[in-house]
Amino acid sequence: MSEAVSPAVNAGGRLDRLPIGPFHRRIMWLIGIGMFFDGFDIYIAATVLGATLKSGFSTLPQNAWFVSATFVGMMAGSFLTGFFGDRYGRRFTYQANLLVFGLAALGAAFAPNMTVLIVLRFIMGVGLGAENVVGYSTMTEFVPARSRGRFLGLMAVFVVTGLPAASLIGYLIIPAFGWRAMFALGGLGALAVWYARKSLPESPRWLEAVGRHAEAEALMRAIEAEAARGAPLPPAAAMAPVTQLGLAALFRPPLLSRLLLGCLCLVVINTLLYGFVTWLPTFFIRQGLSVATSFGYALLMGLGAPVGSAIGALTADRWGRKPTIVGASATAILFGILYPMTLDPVLLPLVGFGLTVPIYVLVALLFGIYIPELFPTEVRLRASGLCNTVGRGATIVTPFLVVTLFEAYGIAGVTGLMIGLLALQIVAVAAFGVEPRSQSLESLEAGVAPAEGGPADRARDAVPRPIL
């Protein structure tokens, strides 16, 4: 690592000692609502494409291109936002991606043909992929260590709530106003949040990391005044000086192991989501259930999404990241074994619900909490963006792999793939993962335990250490 820069601001120590209050909740809601529209737009594809197909606006091959354009755009957005966010700041990036998405969604509402709609969907995908990366990472840098898991987990709840919201709103709006109204609603909502989020501050941690100390100090004073609300604040712990890192640091030890672990975890969770959860209605129909019954079962199992994400949000700070990831993975393996063996029509959706809940516990932990915590502030968005890019890339090959396994081995083949990936994740996280619970981001960056408070400890922690 390169030389350390001035520790004068101590943004991390000062942010971590702030009491949780209106300042943190305001940031959570403004970022979270933007991420809700991110999830909403991802999930409207099923209702919109059914309507475009039925009306003759699209064909099945065009619908496939629409879905592919979404994920290719999300891959591009995940990759690009990391570089923009670390170069130009969190505030600029989360505003830019929401503006891109909102304007493209409004344009999609007026698309004259399916080809134009596919192009606009790619642009929307760029904004959607970017929002996922920058939203979680920005929240990571504001919330005190003791509450970071809960707040970041709640971000995931915002996202997955888009699933039932999109289904319900589509059911109410499309018959009366057509599929274009869904894009208009998503676009207007995104632009409204974009306007409201103009008041959000830049991350003081990022300002300090890039050497803009005067701005960081002024912003910290304003944040402290708002958070204190006239009461005295506890003393701030002295953090290790911020270090200047380049992109190359991600590709050599010790950060390389964290990058590889992050990529693996996001490949696993994306495969579970887009190789199992989104295929549930198809699986049910191919197993002989009616269309109505299959969608009813899928809806019941889908209720596990907000439940699982909420469990992840409420337990990450209490149980720790690694135990929760390992425990949820093991629980998913158990229900994954039971699921193909369940033939009773009453038990099937219940077992499926039991499988969906731990999957979405992992969604909250991996997307929202664990991955952004693994990396130093100056390269956090680039690292998270790279992990998300690799994870999104898995969605390109997943449908083909799922179809092959289902045709050859039935649902047992698909759940077998899930079980194998989850077992690999358990081993990787247990063996190579770090435990960020209750640790400041600066302690994680330095690869040492939090300072114990003595002079020797403070002197030791002031020396930049290798990141493990």
Same domain membership, residue 137 and residue 222: yes
8 A C-beta contact, residue 265 and residue 425? yes
Same domain membership, residue 224 and residue 252: no
Same domain membership, residue 290 and residue 199: no
Residue keyed to tokens 């999957």 = 359
Q: Rounded CA gap, 468 and 353, in Å? A: 37
8 A C-beta contact, residue 415 and residue 337? yes
Same domain membership, residue 278 and residue 180: no
Q: Is residue 169 part of a domain?
A: yes
φ and ψ at residue 218, rounded to 5 degrees: -60, -40
Handedness of CA 260, 262, 263, 269 (dihedral sign): positive
- Contact partners, residue 423, CB within 8 Å, separation at least 6: 329, 333
pLDDT at 454: 35
pLDDT band at 459 (very low <50, low <70, confident <90, very high): very low
Nearest to 287 by CA among 215, 343, 366, 371: 343
Domain stop point among 233, 256, 280: 233
pLDDT tens, position by position, 37-71: 988 888 787 778 878 888 899 888 888 788 888 88
- In three state form, how does the secondary structure of 362-385 look? HHHHHHHHHHHHCCCHHHHHHHHH
Same domain membership, residue 57 and residue 1: yes
Q: Is residue 238 part of a domain?
A: no
pLDDT at 68: 82
pLDDT band at 462 (very low <50, low <70, confident <90, very high): very low
pLDDT tens, position by position, 254-269: 789 999 999 999 999 9
Residue keyed to tokens 């994870």 = 391
Total residues found in the chain within this entry: 468
pLDDT tens, position by position, 34-43: 999 988 888 7
pTM: 0.81
pLDDT at 304: 84
Q: Take residue 32 and report the two structure tokens written for it.
A: 């979270």
pLDDT at 460: 33
pLDDT tens, position by position, 108-129: 999 999 999 999 999 999 998 8
Q: Rounded CA gap, 315 and 42, in Å? A: 27
Q: Rounded CA gap, 72 and 395, in Å? A: 9
Q: CATH number of the domain that 392 lies in?
A: 1.20.1250.20
- State yes or no: cis peptide before 254, omega within 30 of 0: yes
The beta-carbon contacts of 343-352 under 8 Å, at least 24 apart in sequence, are 348/297, 349/297, 349/300, 349/301, 352/280, 352/297, 352/300, 352/301
Exposure on the CB side of residue 9, measured as CA atoms within 13 A: 26
Q: Rounded CA gap, 208 and 223, in Å? A: 15
Q: Rounded CA gap, 330 and 121, in Å? A: 36
Same domain membership, residue 226 and residue 256: no
Same domain membership, residue 113 and residue 1: yes
Other CB atoms within a 10 A radius of the CB of residue 231 amount to 7
Q: Is residue 275 part of a domain?
A: yes
Q: Is residue 460 part of a domain?
A: no
Q: Take residue 60 and report the two structure tokens written for it.
A: 């099945």
User: First vs last Cα of the chain: how many Å apart?
Assistant: 12
Exposure on the CB side of residue 280, measured as CA atoms within 13 A: 23
Q: Is residue 241 part of a domain?
A: no
Same domain membership, residue 350 and residue 287: yes
Given a cut of 50, whether residue 19 has pLDDT beyond it is yes
Exposure on the CB side of residue 199, measured as CA atoms within 13 A: 10
Domain stop point among 173, 206, 233: 233
Region 435-445: what's the mean pLDDT? 77
Q: Is residue 468 part of a domain?
A: no
- Contact partners, residue 72, CB within 8 Å, separation at least 6: 122, 125, 396
Q: Take residue 307 and report the two structure tokens written for it.
A: 């439940």
Region 158-170: what's the mean pLDDT? 83
Q: Is residue 215 part of a domain?
A: yes
Region 193-206: what's the mean pLDDT? 91
Q: Take residue 462 and report the two structure tokens written for it.
A: 């002031």
Nearest to 210 by CA among 372, 379, 95, 12: 379
Q: Rounded CA gap, 3 and 442, in Å? A: 16
Q: Rounded CA gap, 194 and 34, in Å? A: 8
Same domain membership, residue 275 and residue 133: no
pLDDT band at 236 (very low <50, low <70, confident <90, very high): confident
Which region among 164-168, 285-289, 410-414 has the lowest average model confidence (pLDDT)?
A: 285-289
pLDDT at 28: 94
Q: Please give the tally of structural domains in the chain.
A: 2
Residue keyed to tokens 């209106």 = 22
Given a cut of 60, whether residue 7 has pLDDT beyond it is no
pLDDT at 453: 39
Other CB atoms within a 10 A radius of the CB of residue 20 amount to 15
Same domain membership, residue 90 and residue 55: yes
Same domain membership, residue 363 and residue 272: yes
What range does the domain containing 392 cover?
247-449
Q: Rounded CA gap, 275 and 159, in Å? A: 19
Q: Take residue 118 and report the two structure tokens written for it.
A: 């596919």
Same domain membership, residue 206 and residue 110: yes
Nearest to 458 by CA among 241, 235, 238: 238
Q: Take residue 43 and report the two structure tokens written for it.
A: 């999930």
Q: Is residue 457 part of a domain?
A: no
Q: Take residue 11 and report the two structure tokens written for it.
A: 């943004």
Instruction: Name the 3-class secondary structure at 4.
Output: strand
